[in-house]
Every structure is written in structure tokens, then in C-alpha cells.
């Protein structure tokens, strides 16, 4: 990334179940777009940004895989990134176990 800007987002649910239930950092539908808007305000060239998606595990065992919270979170991340035309450079999603994500903002690397 040429501009040295990096950001990370961790959301618990894809979208609010009611329109009036808005919490910016809680829902992927709002928080991901908010971060992208802030980044684009600093450098409007979308080609300078790459996304990496992690998470979306089905850690609640009795949920249907197609309607699980993790699957919905993965889907909303894809939807928002597509809307802003941000390229996904790396993706480690799904599965049955949670992940530990370490984000080195200085090096702009995830391990």
C-alpha cells in the first residue's frame, strides 16, 4: 500500500434487525463502509486499498451453516467491499473454530 494507511474492523453481526437499531461499531454493514469512507477521504484512489477478511466461524454448533452469524458476516463483508470496489487480497473465513488475528499496524501485516 503506497499511502501507509491501514485499518481493522471487528464486528459481531452483519446488520441490525431493525432500521432504528444503529450502532456503528457493532454491525458490519455500517462499520465496514464507515472505515472505507474514512480511508477514501485520505486517498480516494480505490486501487491503493486491499482488503483481507478473517473470521466468520460457525462457533455455535446448532446453527444452520447457511444462516449462521459467521456466514452472514462473511457475506456482508463481501457485499460492502464489492460496493466500494475494494479488492480482496486474502481471505481466511468459515470453519468451526474462532481465530486469533494479530494486526501489526506499523508493518501493515496480519498474522
pLDDT band at 5 (very low <50, low <70, confident <90, very high): confident
In this prediction the pTM is 0.85
Please name every residue paired with 90 in a beta bridge, in sequence order, or none if there are none. 52
Give dist(CA 53, CA 75) in Å, integer.
11
What dihedral angle (degrees, nearest 10) is formed by the CA atoms of 6, 93, 61, 15?
50
What is the average per-residue pLDDT within 71-98?
93
pLDDT of residue 2: 56
pLDDT of residue 62: 62
Mean pLDDT of the chain: 85
SS3 of residue 46 by DSSP:
helix
User: How do residues 10-45 score in pLDDT, each as one tens digit?
Assistant: 888 888 876 666 677 778 988 999 999 999 999 999
**Residue 84 pLDDT greater than 60, yes or no:** yes
Strands (E), the chain: 50-55, 87-93, 103-104, 109-110
Amino acid at each position: 500500500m503506497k499511502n501507509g494507511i491501514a485499518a481493522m474492523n471487528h464486528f459481531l453481526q452483519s446488520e441490525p434487525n431493525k432500521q432504528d437499531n444503529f450502532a456503528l461499531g457493532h454491525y458490519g454493514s455500517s462499520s465496514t463502509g464507515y472505515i472505507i469512507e474514512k480511508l477514501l477521504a485520505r486517498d480516494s484512489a480505490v486501487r491503493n486499498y486491499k482488503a483481507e477478511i478473517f473470521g466468520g466461524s460457525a462457533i455455535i454448533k446448532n446453527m444452520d451453516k447457511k444462516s449462521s452469524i459467521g456466514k452472514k458476516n462473511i457475506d456482508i463483508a463481501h457485499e460492502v467491499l464489492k460496493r466500494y470496489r475494494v479488492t480482496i487480497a486474502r481471505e481466511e473465513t468459515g470453519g468451526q473454530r474462532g481465530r486469533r488475528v494479530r494486526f501489526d499496524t506499523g508493518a501493515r501485516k496480519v498474522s
